[in-house]
Amino acid sequence: MAVAIGASGILGVAREVTPNTYLAPEKFIPFISESLGYVQDTVWRRPIRNTSGLVGAVFGNVHIEGEINMEAFDDCVPYFLTASRTLLVKSGAGPYVYTFTPTSAAVPVKTLSISIKRNAEVMGYVGCVVGSYTFSVGPDGTLMFNVKVVGSNETTQAALTPIWPTTVPFGAGMYTMEIPTAAQVFDTDSFEFTSEDNAEPQYRLRSGGQRGAMFVKFGESAASIKVERDFADRADYDNFKGLTSQSITFKATNAANVINITCPVAIKDTYEVAMPSQGDLLRASVTYQAAINTTGEHFTIVVTSAANII
């Protein structure tokens, strides 16, 4: 008989010194949900041999894949961004400033070891790369951070003893939206920034039963912004029709802790105007695609934190 246990979990990350080599967590992350798992591409054999049935199975390649959804803590987000397709420049000394800019590199500068305790069971994943991530603010006003992870393999680990961060999440009343940059607007009630780098596990012919991905490579890069705002006049709509670009800046500020996202060349991809029923406001749902600027960057993320974390 199965015994139901109330959900409990621990999630920790560490930046690997040697790719695909497990390290115990150096940072524990409060999270909302996760779906990391071991993906096994088993080869199911059906050769022609006078039978219609399945003959058997052969070991196939394996990799790690899944998502982690969390609140966007300023002292947790940088750990995941270091394993994305970005270059980090650190400056300052309390507060510390972590500036992330995209690169054209095929692989990240760092990979992560991710440890998860699900009730009493501990699992460790190595060679983890952040293939895409999303910052979003919804109706409740909390800044959320979702990462899609692709990794090399799984290993079994010992019990975890977490030390939880004490930082406060970003919430309502902490946001500045500038469309274009330097022109603050007050009619936006949702925000979503997504960076997608199409990460893929790479397998190589190896011996010794090594089936995990050798490494994870990036593909094409795309960044986008989605906002919901009031439709005040046709000027912005006509800019959409004319493929006019503009810089967009989103800033979350909680005392000295800041997350600042800027897309210097944002071009409207879709512009939907709807008034669903009588008495409703005329609203615009706008999606921007980020193009590169003169220095080859299509966005910049600057995290300012009191914590010396990287």
SS3 state of residue 236: helix
Residue 310 lies in a domain: no
Return d(Cα 149, Cα 35) in angstroms, integer: 10
pLDDT in tens, 161-179: 999 988 999 999 999 999 9
Q: Beta-strand (E) ranges in 152-256? A: 153-156, 175-178, 184-185, 188-196, 200-202, 215-217, 222-230, 245-254
Tens of pLDDT along 98-115? Answer: 999 999 999 999 999 999
Does 117 have pLDDT greater than 80? yes
Supply 247's token pair. 């810089």
What percentage of residues in the chain have a pLDDT greater than 70?
98
Residue 77 covered by a domain? yes
Q: Does the pLDDT of residue 159 top 90, yes or no?
A: no
Give the separation between CA 293 and CA 310, rounded to whole angstroms.
28
- Residue 231 and residue 246: Cα distance in Å, rounded? 17
DSSP string, 231-282: ---SHHHHHHHTT-EEEEEEEEEETTEEEEEEEEEEEEEEEEEE--STT---
- Does residue 1 belong to any structural domain of this protein? no
Residue whose entry in the numeric block shows the structure tokens 């497990």: 22
pLDDT band at 310 (very low <50, low <70, confident <90, very high): confident
Q: Render 103-166 in DSSP notation, one character per residue.
A: ---SS-S--EEEEEEETTEEEEEEEEEEEEEEEEE-TT--EEEEEEEEESEEEE----------
Residues 6+ apart with CB under 8 A from 294: none
In a domain, 134, yes or no: yes
Q: How confident is the model at residue 4 (pLDDT cuts 50, 70, 90)?
A: very low
**CA dist., res. 259 & res. 302, Å (int):** 6
Return d(Cα 133, Cα 197) in angstroms, integer: 9
Token pair 């290993």 is found at: 155
The pLDDT tens digits for 230-274 are 987 888 899 899 999 999 999 999 999 999 999 999 999 999 998
Alpha-carbon span 150 to 36, nearest angstrom: 9
Report the C-alpha gap between 1 and 156 in whole angstroms: 26
> What is the rounded CA–CA span in Å between residue 85 and residue 216?
11
How far is CA 296 from its chain centroid?
A: 21
Instruction: Reply yes or no: is the peptide bond before residue 162 cis, omega within 30 of 0.
Output: no
Q: Does 275 reside within a domain?
A: yes
Q: Considering the chain, what percentage of its residues have pLDDT values greater than 90?
A: 83
Q: Which of 49-53, 72-76, 97-101, 289-293 has the lowest mean pLDDT?
A: 49-53
- Reported pTM: 0.93
Task: Identify whether 148 is part of a domain.
Answer: yes
* Residue 204 structure tokens: 């190589």
Residue 162 to residues 29, 75, 99, 115, Cα–Cα distance (Å): 9, 15, 27, 11
- The range of the structural domain enclosing residue 95 comes to 9-39+58-162+170-205+212-305
pLDDT at 2: 43
Q: Could you give the number of structural domains in the chain? A: 1
In angstroms, the Cα distances linking 208 to 42, 44, 157, 307 are 18, 21, 21, 42
- Residue 47 in any domain: the answer is no
Which among 290, 282, 288 has a CA at the least distance from the CA of 229? 282
Instruction: Please give the radius of gyration of the chain, using alpha carbons only, rounded to the nearest integer.
Output: 22
For residue 288, pLDDT over 90 is answered with yes
Show Cβ contacts of residue 82 under 8 Å, excluding neighbours closer than 6 positions: 15, 88, 108, 109, 110, 310
